[in-house]
Amino acid sequence: MTTLYGISNCDTVRKARKWMEAEAINFVFHDFRKQGLSAEQVERWCAALGLDKVLNKRGTTWRQLPDDIKASTDEAALKALLVEQPTLIKRPVLELADGRVEVGFKAEQYAALFAR
């Protein structure tokens, strides 16, 4: 099953959901602000994409963190922070049924992923 992870009030997540619904793609939406995330999920995404691609350093949540946390290079601590504060994750995260993981949304990117 394909799962789209994000938060329901994020514009990019809404665009992705709307695109997938318009294309009649069967998926489950997981709001990680409401439903949370496991350390295993974050670890899997970081293994597939790299921590730098998963961690959103442009968002408000990141900017509000203390400077010592932002300066940290401790990957384990940063991954734990992603579980604790999932709004630090770039959105949306798409887990495809075949195990592939993608982050972000562009219609042409999704069209290529779901080419039939």
Determine whether 46 is an active site residue: no
**Distance between CA atoms of 81 and 7, rounded to whole angstroms?**
17
Q: Is the domain covering 2-113 a CATH 3.90.1010.10 domain?
A: no
Per-residue pLDDT of the chain (116 residues), as tens digits, is 999 999 999 999 999 999 999 999 999 999 999 999 999 999 999 999 999 999 999 999 999 999 999 998 899 999 999 999 999 999 999 999 999 999 999 999 999 999 86
Catalytic pick from 4, 10, 13, 82?
10
pTM score over 0.95: no
What are the boundaries of each domain within the chain? 2-113
> Which one-letter DSSP state was computed for residue 5?
E
Whether 84 and 33 have beta carbons less than 8 Å apart is answered as no
